[in-house]
Amino acid sequence: MTKPYRPNVGIALFNAAGLVLIGRRFRDDGPEIILPGLEWQMPQGGIDAEENPRQAVMRELWEETGVKSADYLGETDWLTYEFPLYAGPSSHRLAQFRGQRQKWFALRFTGSEQEIDPLTSRNGQPPEFDQWRWERLDRVADLVVPFRRDVYRAVAEQFAKFSAIGAD
């Protein structure tokens, strides 16, 4: 039997300059590994049972970054990626999945940067990021682990109209 994909949302949070928020993961999470020099990613997270993706994106954004001040800009169709081979315990919550099936959302950050706090635990979820920064969307695929790159490139292409491509 083939393992299913985990339903998931991804978040491209754009600031007024058209840059996206990325966080630096500081630990592995089962098959969601990080590699030296490739620890950065945009926020993402699972969709709970009975939760729709638009609810999940705002919950995940808040859990991972503390941000509540964001307006909806757009979304992608469903995109997938496979986890790398995982030799860890089969009891890990992600071990039952072959990868993630994601719907990405473009949001415009409308708050103050003081709102961004990735180190505080929210809803009983441990922090995933120990740092954050703003980055050009078209550069983020080069900062993530290889198994996520195709999805990040697709997101960059679909959300280019919201970004600061060409702005240095």
DSSP string, 70-137: EEEEEEEEEEEEEPPP--S-TTSTTTT-SEEEEEEEEEEE-S-GGG--TTS-BTTBPP-EEEEEEE-H
Q: Which residues does the chain have with pLDDT short of 50?
A: 166-168
- Cα distance between residue 98 and residue 110, in whole Å: 35
Q: What is the pLDDT of residue 165?
A: 55
Q: What is the pLDDT of residue 88?
A: 81
Query: In the numeric block, which tokens belong to residue 3?
Result: 């393992």
- Cα distance between residue 154 and residue 145, in whole Å: 15
**Phi, psi angle pair for 129, to nearest 5°:** -120, 140
- Cα distance between residue 50 and residue 22, in whole Å: 28
Q: What is the pLDDT of residue 164?
A: 67
- Cα distance between residue 100 and residue 44, in whole Å: 10
Q: What is the pLDDT of residue 137?
A: 97
Regarding pTM above 0.75, the answer is: yes
Q: What is the pLDDT of residue 30?
A: 76
Q: What is the pLDDT of residue 167?
A: 47
Are 22 and 148 in contact by the 8 Å Cβ rule? The answer is no
Q: What is the pLDDT of residue 1?
A: 65
